[in-house]
Chains A and B, each alone.
Chain A
């Protein structure tokens, strides 16, 4: 019987070696080690071996033979499967570069991008964001900002007027400052707010001016706010927005709604200065117009143009380019 076993194993191994696919091998298990297989039949004939020791030894030999055949099937099957996947992949090649589509994602406008970046920096510095109407009354745009009727400083802005039953009383806001008054009237102090938005001037468009453009205004009202806090806040903004190697300075200027007033400049790492905007301590008359007692509250305000920031960031030569709404221009700037 021992000879029969080894003959059966040899035959089985030969058949396994000859198998060419994983599918074929899957069927071989039954054929080579099943009950009707040569080894299976040898196993069933064990009962005819009379010598107990002989029977035990032969039985063990049959089992080992069966395990060896099964292991051989598994090994061969793994080989076949690997080869088959290998072959499949070899035929499936594609050129990925053929399949990368052009992005169809849109873009927010450069001004929106700049506004959102500014808002994010100010939110990080502890500010909330306020908004107000773009068509304003004379009161909010001028009078409440310490410019009563016929105040000469009104001529600092070329104002566009809107038709109204009381001529001259409705204007397109010339700055975002009217939102200061609205915020003071509506929000209980302390106030830490920035107010971005669209503003209007009667300016003929050129490479650096548009009659419709955008500003961001900041307003802080709290107890014991000083000029030093203004300078420190401008400095914090400068570093947060432009980078740690930028610094800022304030120099005296004049605005009717702030006093002391200042222009603020920022200094690039290379030492050159850029004029950025105006700022100052909120004038007591403006606090009063906003319904706040200047003896209890003090504060500062600042403001600057957004369009210019976008223009300079992206080296746009002519600001009018930003308003042609040409998709070839707009789509350049990922947002």
Chain B
């Protein structure tokens, strides 16, 4: 919202300390994004008249304009805009002029012919945003004089406010001024009440559907003529970001920019039969002011004339047929209050968010209608001094109209409880009466009447917020709560950090791929996509489903890195997956995925992470090599289980999956449900004394068919060795000469030790025999 200092100053004396005012506006919750000076004179720009224009055969984008600045001289200028004709008056920046953007106008040539100045657009002079062509000046301006003087351009300061959506009142200068005046303790004046000058011209008004409109006023004004608005008023409208059109439209927009109250002027000829306000009928259409034919919806508000012919889309836009035109001499001014939701939905349905609809949907003041009408007449009278007002605004309303004020009980104890400062009833009144909140009561409890222009304010806490704003957030001060809670990370969070720590020490870097995937990505990564959920309104089709696995994202990251010639790729991700479940919300789960590109055949680098994680987190799982997880290499993978529960997978990914992603080489992968393993905090381990007796080592090499898992053999030998086994380590795996095809040699070193004695040779030999027997039972033979 652009707010002009000159306009604010009409409501209170704010002075001209622009920076200080910007700070105050920001402190009130209306942060100033930009402060701009408007109408600042550009010395050297004068009124010139076009004598003739000429094309040059070798210049396509510019033409030659011959001008005079005194009626007798002739200046030549190259110009890239073609909107002027001989006789037009235009602003000419003469040689040496410093333009607002910093350019200096120099004698510069094209094709060897010099330019003696520059024709200016309104935007180049910062008069408004119009850059459609050179500014054509009124024909009656004298030649050679300063353009700003000739036009009577006013100077101003424009604050660009970033308003929050709870403050509809501040979408008009008056609301901003009211808040600022209260803050600065300046007297604020805004009353506008006019007087009907002529006999009442009554119009029948009927709000047919009460839900369509809460309050409606119509005022008949005659003896008007359609003309230009005064320059200062045009300046204000342009600087507020709208386009000056004519005195009627400008007056309407002026009132809206001042009071956040949209109004609409109809030609009396089209609404002389009166008004019927209702919802649209089936099949009803309306041609709106922008020339579009609108098919109306049964929830659209229709303003119809007395003959029930639609003349406007209520709260959004007027109809073309009832528009004020040059021949208009009498108008009817509609000022009404429409329900916010209805206007919002109607504007959205028609893709027609107008300045008016934007204001109604935030919430206008139903009790500001009459003063807005009178203000409109006051403005119009500037260009139509002879106008006649045929009766005060005629008001029709119903029960859907909010009350003029809303009473709320304010407890002073609650003020202190929320803000931490104690305020008396008098202080409360001093703070919020200037913004129109009336306070009644003396004790610890006040009745506060909230004005109708503050529809956002309906409860005690809303009033407390106003107190805080006007007391000043900074002035409230700072304290620190006296907490009895101790800060800490939960066990799960500490264990998650351990996962990160272990993996980065192991050489993996954390990736954060997009959790939104292409619908085919899951399947291409070899993952079951039957529980994949789609987004209803994705940005792009390639990111339109929610992941059920971290695998597709990391595979894509690997492919990306490979295509950018990055070697040594080790990545992991900790993140959520969102498979469809039984409940309305997905079965969201936190997962870990670790991937490595393996340079050497047979090296499964990612599997190192399994050992590191098991060791760090202190959890276990069965490594089931019998069942191949989907998308993995059938001979090089295992499912990770806890009993019947599958908690992950590991191994080498299927070459099919890698080919789908254009990944070269082999990729090893560990996937693990962190939701399961982080939640299990191992109990503290009880210390065991270290034995002081000597230990004995036995080396055992078994030839085992490939079908026997190394882990199974390990488990069998370890269990056969019994309590005296301190460690059992696989120290060599051998395939080749001396070992039958389809088998390999697995060599273990078993360390035995007792706590209370030195083991005898017989004891050691006995255990050795047991281990061999256990291995043989599995199908492995001592080598």
Contacts and interface: CB of A to CB of B under 8 A. Distances in A.
Interface string A165-195: 1111110100000000000000000111000
Interface string A315-335: 000000011111110110001
Contacts of A225: 481
A135 B535 contact: no
A129 B493 contact: yes
Given A229-B481, A259-B462, A325 B537 contact: no
B395 interface: no
B497 A331 contact: no
Nearest to A124: B487
Contacts of B341: 150, 152
B478 A106 contact: no
Contact of A105 (B27, B478, B505, B516): B505
User: What class of interface size applies to chain B in its complex with A?
Assistant: 35 or more
B504 A105 contact: yes
A104 B507 CA distance: 5
Contact of A167 (B536, B564, B568, B585): B536
Nearest to B467: A260
Given A191-B485, A233-B481, A298 B418 contact: yes
Contact of A137 (B28, B561, B569, B585): B585
Contacts, number: 242
Contact of A106 (B507, B537, B538, B539): B507
Contact of A126 (B483, B575, B576): B483
B485 A192 contact: yes
A228 B478 contact: yes
A150 B568 CA distance: 52
Nearest to A151: B341
Contacts of A227: 418-420, 468, 473, 476
Contacts of B489: 119, 123, 128-129
B583 to A, nearest CB: 10
Contacts of A106: 503-510, 570, 572
Contacts of A331: 509
A328 B566 contact: yes
Contacts of A133: 576, 585, 588
Nearest to B493: A129
Interface string B258-281: 000000000000000000000000
B161 to A, nearest CB: 13
B513 interface: yes
A164 interface: yes
A164 B584 contact: yes
Contacts of A261: 465
Contact of A262 (B473, B557, B564): B473
B487 A125 contact: yes
Interface string B571-597: 110111010000011101000000000
B560 to A, nearest CB: 7
Given A127-B487, A227-B420, A198 B576 contact: yes
Contacts of A327: 509, 561, 566, 568-569, 571
A311 interface: no
A160 B546 CA distance: 11
B481 A326 contact: no
A228 B461 contact: no
A156 interface: yes
If over half of A's interface residues share one DSSP class (helix, strand or loop), that class is named, otherwise mixed; here it is mixed
A169 to B, nearest CB: 6
Contact of A325 (B165, B505, B511): B511
B461 A259 contact: yes
Interface string A104-138: 11111101100010010011111111010111110
B588 A134 contact: yes
B561 A161 contact: no
Contacts of B473: 227, 231, 249-252, 260, 262
B474 A249 contact: yes
Contact of B514 (A111, A190, A252, A323): A323
Nearest to B23: A251
Contacts of B462: 259
B507 A105 contact: yes
Interface in A61-120: 104-109, 111-112, 116, 119
A298 B460 CA distance: 14
A161 B536 contact: yes
Given A105-B505, A190-B483, A198-B576, A228 B420 contact: yes
A159 to B, nearest CB: 8
A236 interface: yes
A262 B469 CA distance: 10
A204 B507 contact: no
A140 B279 CA distance: 35
Contacts of B584: 137, 164-166, 169-170
B585 A135 contact: yes
Interface in A202-228: 202, 204, 211-212, 220, 222, 224-228
A153 interface: yes
B578 A135 contact: yes
Contacts of B166: 153, 254
B534 interface: yes
Nearest to B534: A163
User: What class of interface size applies to chain A in its complex with B?
Assistant: 35 or more
B516 A212 contact: yes
Interface in A224-246: 224-229, 231-233, 235-236
A144 interface: no
Nearest to A227: B419
A206 to B, nearest CB: 12
Contacts of B418: 226-227, 260, 281, 298
Contacts of B516: 211-212
B167 A260 contact: no
A154 to B, nearest CB: 11
Given A109-B511, A250-B473, A235 B29 contact: no
Contacts of B611: none
B511 A330 contact: yes
B165 A232 contact: no
B515 interface: yes
Contacts of A7: none
B291 interface: no
A231 B477 contact: yes
Contacts of B535: 160-163, 172
Interface in B538-558: 538-539, 543, 546, 557
Contacts of B585: 133, 135-137, 170
A253 interface: yes
Contact of B500 (A108, A122, A202, A224): A108
A308 interface: no
A192 to B, nearest CB: 4
A187 B476 CA distance: 30
A284 interface: yes
Nearest to A169: B584
Nearest to B461: A259
Nearest to A203: B539
Interface of B: 26-29, 31, 164-167, 340-341, 344, 361-362, 416-421, 459, 461-462, 464-465, 468-469, 473-474, 476-481, 483-490, 493, 497, 500, 503-516, 533-539, 543, 546, 557, 560-561, 564, 566, 568-572, 574-576, 578, 584-586, 588
14 contacts: A107-B504, A123-B489, A131-B493, A162-B535, A163-B535, A167-B536, A227-B418, A228-B421, A228-B478, A229-B420, A249-B474, A252-B27, A254-B166, A324-B560
Given A222-B483, A263-B31, A330-B509, 5 more contacts: A160-B535, A163-B533, A228-B478, A232-B478, A327-B569
Interface of A: 104-109, 111-112, 116, 119, 122-129, 131, 133-137, 150, 152-153, 156, 160-170, 172, 190-192, 198, 202, 204, 211-212, 220, 222, 224-229, 231-233, 235-236, 249-254, 259-263, 281, 283-284, 298, 322-328, 330-331, 335
Give me the 10 closest cross-chain CB pairs, A-B, nearest first.
A252-B29, A226-B420, A254-B164, A228-B420, A232-B478, A161-B536, A325-B557, A325-B511, A106-B504, A123-B487
